[in-house]
Chain A
Amino acid sequence: MTLSGAAASTLPGAQAPPQGPVTGQPRLSWLRRLMGSEDARRLLSCVLGLLVLAVMTGPEGSASAPLSGFTGSLFHLRALVFIGLGFVLWAVITLRRRFGERARQASDWVSSAPRRLVTNRQARYGIYLALLAFAVVYPMVLSQFWQNVLVDQIGIYVLLALGLNVVVGYAGLLDLGYIAFYALGAYSAAYWTGALAVHPPITLNPFWAIPLAILAAMLAGVVLGAPTLRLRGDYLAIVTLGFGEIIQIVATNLQGVTGGASGPASVIPHFSVHVLGVHYRWGLADLPYYYLLLGFVVIVLVVFHSLENSRVGRAWTAIREDEIAAESAGINVLKYKVLAFSIGASTSGFAGMLWASQVGYIDSTLFTVQLSILVLVLVIFGGMGSLPGAVVGAAVLQWFPWFLRVHPLFGFQQQDLFIYLGALLIVMMIFRPEGLLPSRRRKREIGLAEHGIGTADAMSEPGGEP
């Protein structure tokens, strides 16, 4: 669509739009000279790109005044703001090209500061503990609105991003149907707690449904992954994309079971524990759910961190870098791919089941492909293959739209979210392709790929006949 076209031309070094038929018209020679300058072409691309963004996110036209969406966007103060942003973008790109090496060094120096300052283990654990303490205490002072955002929008998505990070970041597999497993988890929760029209053999408390929801998602991951992951590269993306659609369509059409687009008739119960005389119910309040989620996120972080640094993690790295070489080195590639894929699937299912039980209601319209793409964006934004990246990336990107909703800067509207996300990713690919907080290895991979050594992209097959 228009966005990608305009955005592509804002990339540094991209060709400017073809010049008009100015030959033989000396009046326009100044224009030709101007457009002959790379800086001028880039400036034009930046400003036009931002103007397109302004129009796409501006007011909508109506049937009686179809052009009002256009004019209302351009002849408005907001357009000036976007033009200004275009200038800023241009200035930053130009400066970076001029002082590129130094700029890169400076940004590396800043981003590696924590690593340099905190060299010993104890200090690092101290910082983790401090961050954890902050995560425990700070939400208490938040308003109810933000506590709710923290659970529904941030906590759940941090968990989702952590799971997809294993698939995309560790093993280098492109999963575009990730939300299908989230849906499976959510519907498993609904089924086992007796909320669906079809009743389970025994109705369970959501807590005991957790392992069953995880199991369902994991099984789906294995069943889908085992045949597909034998094939190379892009097939997985296509099959998972299709799977995501299928799950949503099935959930919609199996009205008698799932309630379809209007959801099951009864409410999915909240969590509760009744063990050894302790009785606790998670009710409507958000904070208890937040702590539950925080606990799970910490557990997942610890598990994934040790996986990353284990034999399994090294096998994933090898597969990501060169699948054939990994195979020749004696790694059971299929096994480790299926493992990564189903770990991701079960994390997604787990998140889905937590969310279903917290909100109490699900319907088939919630599990869109867009949501899969969103989680992928969170992982890419945070830095593929990096646990801190997945957490911070998801938290920042999920928090910011809500911040903008409360403080509508630049006339932000929620419906335009994906347009902004697209623009953000493009800008990020220019300035920081490795993501916000990249893992050290991923950063090297992208750095080397820019110098033409190896592939940072695990989906493509490197090598071949020279």
Chain B
Amino acid sequence: MTLLRLIDLEVRYGAIRALQDVNVDVSEGEIVALLGANGAGKTTTLRTISGLARPVKGSVQFAGREIHRLPPHEVVGLGIGHAPEGRRIFPQMSVLENLEMGAYRRRGDLHQDTERVYSLFPVLKQRRRQDGGTLSGGEQQMLAIGRALMSAPRLLLLDEPSMGLAPLVVETIFSIISEIRKTGTTILLVEQNAAQALALADRAYVLENGRVVMADKARTLLNNERVRAAYLGEGAA
């Protein structure tokens, strides 16, 4: 079943056209990767889904419902969690407070949810009283993902979770992402790190200058000449 559908999306920042005719489908339970160079429009796509940016054309449908006119806090309420680019944790709140903010719209006991996040990221439990700003880059990324999970999302949007992290830490984060999928959460993953994203994803879209230029099974793209040349650092640069 299709959980998320982007139809003919066009998004502008003033005169700059960041997205044009973007069509993306994400089915329940999938990991879908969104690849592309810097400035291709990946972040804009995620921001449009979560209501932080408004399309001038096209629509965003989530679970059969149009959501592109809703404000971000309502989109979160419908079940879309967003771990934004650059992590954006609350640096002066403790790890636990950060997680609690992620569940801001939900009331009642959060104990089970925090425990679920802690079991995915045991290091966050150790550091739960520490200020977010004092965590390492990898731990901050984990906190950002954990905070997005606290809204109990059906769809998780991850914007470059590997950005600026050491290879070993990236490894850990990617393996946790596949753990998260096993719990039934659908994932739309934005990455510049194409090799690792394609290894993890079921399907992928490639964006160039705000347009989708390729869309296929991850395995197929991994063997595609153009993808290998442009995004996997092989052949002529």
Task: Please state if A330 and B90 are interface contacts (CB–CB under 8 Å).
Answer: no
Kindly list chain B residues whose C-beta atoms are within 8 Å of the C-beta of A327. 52, 72-73
B58 contacts A by Cβ under 8 Å = no
B175 contacts A by Cβ under 8 Å = no
Closest A residue to B46 by CB, please name it.
Answer: A328
Kindly list chain A residues whose C-beta atoms are within 8 Å of the C-beta of B151. 329-330
Q: Beyond A330-B73, A330-B77, is A453–B134 a contact (Cβ under 8 Å)?
A: yes
Task: Please state if B101 and A326 are interface contacts (CB–CB under 8 Å).
Answer: yes
A102 contacts B by Cβ under 8 Å = no
Q: With the chains together, A462 CA to B85 CA distance in Å?
A: 12
Q: Beyond A325-B89, A454-B133, is A330–B76 a contact (Cβ under 8 Å)?
A: yes
Task: Please state if A331 and B131 are interface contacts (CB–CB under 8 Å).
Answer: no
| Residue of B77, B89, B104, B134 with most partner-chain A CB within 10 A | B104
Kindly list chain B residues whose C-beta atoms are within 8 Å of the C-beta of A444. 92, 131
B176 contacts A by Cβ under 8 Å = no
Q: With the chains together, A332 CA to B38 CA distance in Å?
A: 30
Task: Please state if A329 and B102 are interface contacts (CB–CB under 8 Å).
Answer: yes
Interface membership of chain B positions 52-87, coded 1 if the CB is closer than 8 angstroms to chain A and 0 otherwise: 100000000000000000011100110000101110
Interface residue ranges of A222-280 to B (CB < 8 Å): none
Kindly list chain B residues whose C-beta atoms are within 8 Å of the C-beta of A317. 90, 92-93
Interface residue ranges of B128-161 to A (CB < 8 Å): 131, 133-134, 147-148, 151
Task: Please state if A328 and B88 are interface contacts (CB–CB under 8 Å).
Answer: yes
Kindly list chain B residues whose C-beta atoms are within 8 Å of the C-beta of A314. 97, 100-101, 104
Q: With the chains together, A303 CA to B133 CA distance in Å?
A: 30
B105 contacts A by Cβ under 8 Å = yes
B164 contacts A by Cβ under 8 Å = yes
Interface membership of chain B positions 12-56, coded 1 if the CB is closer than 8 angstroms to chain A and 0 otherwise: 000000000000000000000000001000000000001010000
- What does DSSP make chain B's interface, helix, strand, loop or mixed? loop
B163 contacts A by Cβ under 8 Å = yes
Task: Please state if A321 and B50 are interface contacts (CB–CB under 8 Å).
Answer: no
Q: With the chains together, A325 CA to B86 CA distance in Å?
A: 10
Q: Beyond A314-B101, A329-B151, A330-B105, is A324–B133 a contact (Cβ under 8 Å)?
A: no
B91 contacts A by Cβ under 8 Å = yes
Interface membership of chain A positions 437-452, coded 1 if the CB is closer than 8 angstroms to chain B and 0 otherwise: 0000100110010000
Kindly list chain A residues whose C-beta atoms are within 8 Å of the C-beta of B134. 448, 453
Kindly list chain A residues whose C-beta atoms are within 8 Å of the C-beta of B101. 314, 318, 326, 329, 331
Q: Beyond A314-B101, A466-B163, is A331–B90 a contact (Cβ under 8 Å)?
A: no
Kindly list chain A residues whose C-beta atoms are within 8 Å of the C-beta of B77. 330
Kindly list chain B residues whose C-beta atoms are within 8 Å of the C-beta of A321. 90-93
Closest B residue to A311 by CB, please name it.
Answer: B104
Task: Please state if B76 and A466 are interface contacts (CB–CB under 8 Å).
Answer: no
Q: With the chains together, A466 CA to B100 CA distance in Å?
A: 27
Could you tell me the distance in whole angstroms from the C-beta of A245 to the nearest C-beta in chain B? 30
Interface membership of chain A positions 330-343, coded 1 if the CB is closer than 8 angstroms to chain B and 0 otherwise: 11111000000000
A464 contacts B by Cβ under 8 Å = yes
Which of B38, B52, B73, B92 lies in contact with A454, CB distance below 8 A?
A: B92
A463 contacts B by Cβ under 8 Å = yes
Q: With the chains together, A326 CA to B102 CA distance in Å?
A: 9
Interface residue ranges of A14-47 to B (CB < 8 Å): none
Q: Beyond A324-B52, A448-B131, A454-B133, is A329–B91 a contact (Cβ under 8 Å)?
A: no
Q: With the chains together, A327 CA to B131 CA distance in Å?
A: 20
Tally of A-B residue pairs with Cβ under 8 A?
A: 88
A210 contacts B by Cβ under 8 Å = no
Closest B residue to A441 by CB, please name it.
Answer: B92
A434 contacts B by Cβ under 8 Å = no
Which of B52, B71, B97, B133 lies in contact with A453, CB distance below 8 A?
A: B133
Kindly list chain A residues whose C-beta atoms are within 8 Å of the C-beta of B73. 327, 330-333
Closest A residue to B133 by CB, please name it.
Answer: A453
Task: Please state if B104 and A315 are interface contacts (CB–CB under 8 Å).
Answer: yes
Kindly list chain A residues whose C-beta atoms are within 8 Å of the C-beta of B92. 317, 321, 441, 444-445, 448, 454
Closest A residue to B163 by CB, please name it.
Answer: A466
Kindly list chain A residues whose C-beta atoms are within 8 Å of the C-beta of B72. 327-328, 330
Q: With the chains together, A317 CA to B98 CA distance in Å?
A: 11
Kindly list chain A residues whose C-beta atoms are within 8 Å of the C-beta of B84. 324-325, 328
A322 contacts B by Cβ under 8 Å = yes
Task: Please state if B104 and A329 are interface contacts (CB–CB under 8 Å).
Answer: yes
Could you tell me the distance in whole angstroms from the C-beta of A244 to the nearest C-beta in chain B? 30
Q: With the chains together, A169 CA to B135 CA distance in Å?
A: 25
Q: With the chains together, A331 CA to B101 CA distance in Å?
A: 8
Task: Please state if B52 and A329 are interface contacts (CB–CB under 8 Å).
Answer: no
Could you tell me the distance in whole angstroms from the C-beta of A149 to the nearest C-beta in chain B? 38
Q: With the chains together, A213 CA to B121 CA distance in Å?
A: 53
Task: Please state if A318 and B90 are interface contacts (CB–CB under 8 Å).
Answer: yes
Could you tell me the distance in whole angstroms from the C-beta of A208 to the nearest C-beta in chain B? 38
Q: With the chains together, A448 CA to B135 CA distance in Å?
A: 12
Kindly list chain B residues whose C-beta atoms are within 8 Å of the C-beta of A454. 91-92, 133
Q: With the chains together, A316 CA to B141 CA distance in Å?
A: 23
| Residue of A317, A328, A333 with most partner-chain B CB within 10 A | A328
Task: Please state if B90 and A328 are interface contacts (CB–CB under 8 Å).
Answer: no
Kindly list chain A residues whose C-beta atoms are within 8 Å of the C-beta of B97. 314
Residue pairs across A and B with Cβ atoms less than 8 A apart, 23 shown, are A311-B104, A317-B92, A318-B90, A321-B90, A321-B92, A322-B90, A324-B52, A325-B84, A327-B72, A328-B76, A328-B84, A329-B102, A329-B147, A330-B105, A331-B101, A331-B104, A332-B71, A445-B92, A448-B131, A448-B133, A454-B133, A462-B88, A463-B85
The 5 closest A-B pairs by CB, nearest first: A454-B91, A330-B76, A325-B88, A330-B105, A453-B133
Contacts beyond the supplied A314-B101, A328-B88, A463-B85: 5 A-B pairs with Cβ under 8 Å: A314-B104, A321-B92, A325-B90, A330-B72, A334-B71
Residue ranges of A at the interface with B (Cβ–Cβ < 8 Å): 311, 314-315, 317-318, 321-322, 324-334, 441, 444-445, 448, 453-454, 462-466
